[in-house]
Amino acid sequence: MQMRDFVVRFAGEGGQGVVTSAEGLAQASTQVGYHALTYATFPSQILGGPTWTQARISVDPILSAGDDVDVLVAFNREAYDTHREEVREEGLVIYNSNDFELEGDERSYGLPVDELARSTGNNRAANMVIMGALAHLVNMPQAYLEQFVEARFRRGRANDDEIIDSNNLALKLGRDESASSGFSLGDLTPPAMPEYPQIMLKGNEAICLGALAAGLDFYVGYPISPATTILVFMERNLVGEGKFAYQVSSEIESITTILGAGYAGKKAMTATAGPGFSLMSEGLGLGWMAEIPLVVVDVQRGGPATGLPTKTEQSDLLACMYPAHGDVKLPVIAVGTVEECFFGAVKALNWAERYQGPVILMTEMALAERVQNIHRPDLSKVQPERRLVYDGSNGYNRYQGHELSPMPLPGSPGAYVANGSEHDEMGDTTHLPSRHVQMTERRFSKLKLLEENEFEADNSDEAVVIMPWGGSKGPALEAYNQLREQDVPVGWYYTMLLSPLPPALLEELKQKELVIVPELNYQGQFSGILRSQGVNAVSITQYTGLPFKVRDLVERITEMTNSHPKEMVRA
Partner 1 sequence: MSKKNPEYDFKWCPGCGDFGVRRAIEFAMINRLEETGLPMENNVVVAGIGCSGNLVHLLEGQQPYGFHGIHGRTLPVAMGVKMARPELNVLVVAGDGDFLSIGGEHIGPQAARNLNICAVVMDNGVYGLTKGQSSPTTQLGTVTSSTPYGKIEAEADPLELYLTLGATFIASGFSGQPRELAKLINQGMDHEGFAMVHVQSPCTTYNDTFELMKGNPRKGIEPLMYNISEEHDVSDKGAAYNLVQQRGMPVGIIYKDEARPSLQQRVDEIKAKAPRRSVEELMDSFAF
For partner 1, the binding residue among 172, 175, 266, 347 (CB under 8 A) is 266
Contact between 170 and 148 (Cβ < 8 Å) = no
* Interacting positions 427-486 with partner 1 (CB under 8 A): 427-432, 435
Whole-angstrom distance, CA of residue 547 vs CA of residue 65 = 9
Residues 417, 419: Cα–Cα separation, whole Å: 6
Task: Determine the interface stretch with partner 1 among 138-146, 247-255, 355-363, 479-487 (rule: CB under 8 A).
Answer: 247-255
Identity of the amino acid at 49: G
Which positions from 330 through 389 interact with partner 1, judged by CB under 8 A?
A: 373, 376-377, 379
Q: How far is CA 426 from CA 294, 357, 401, 457, in A?
A: 22, 18, 11, 45
Query: Which segment (41-49, 170-178, 184-192, 282-290) binds partner 1 by CB under 8 A?
Result: 282-290
Q: Within positions 132 to 171, which residues make up the interface with partner 1, using CB under 8 A?
A: 151
Find the binder of partner 1 among 424, 452, 456, 458 (CB under 8 A).
424
* Contact residue for partner 1 among 100, 246, 390, 444 (CB under 8 A): 246
- Can you tell me which of 252, 457, 488, 538 binds partner 1, judged by CB under 8 A? 252
Spatial distance between the Cα atoms of 138 and 146, rounded to a whole number of angstroms: 16
Least separation in angstroms between residue 255's CB and partner 1 is 8
Q: Is 498 in the site for partner 1 (CB under 8 A)?
A: no
Contact 51, 14 (CB under 8 A): yes
> Which of residues 218, 277, 343, 469 is near partner 1 by CB under 8 A?
218
DSSP-based three-state secondary structure for 380: helix
List CB contacts of 487: < 8 A, sequence separation 6 or more.
none
Amino acid type, 25: L
DSSP assignment, residue 189? Answer: P
Part of the chain binding partner 1 (CB under 8 A), chosen from 76-84, 425-433, 484-492, 513-521: 425-433
Contacts with 532 (C-beta within 8 Å, 6 or more apart), sequence order: none
CB 186 within 8 A of CB 135: no
Binding to partner 1, residues 74-113 (CB under 8 A): none
Stretch that binds partner 1, among 183-191, 251-259, 532-540, 560-568 (CB under 8 A): 251-259
Q: Considering only residues 27-46, where is the footprint of partner 1 by CB under 8 A?
A: 27, 30-31
CB-based contact 400:425 (threshold 8 Å): yes
Instruction: Give the residue, chosen from 134, 185, 230, 268, that forms a contact with partner 1 under the rule CB under 8 A.
Output: 268
Q: Does 426 bind partner 1 (CB under 8 A)?
A: yes
Cβ count near 265 (within 10 Å)? 19
| Segment 170 to 199, residues that bind partner 1, using CB under 8 A | 197-199
396 touches partner 1 (CB under 8 A): no
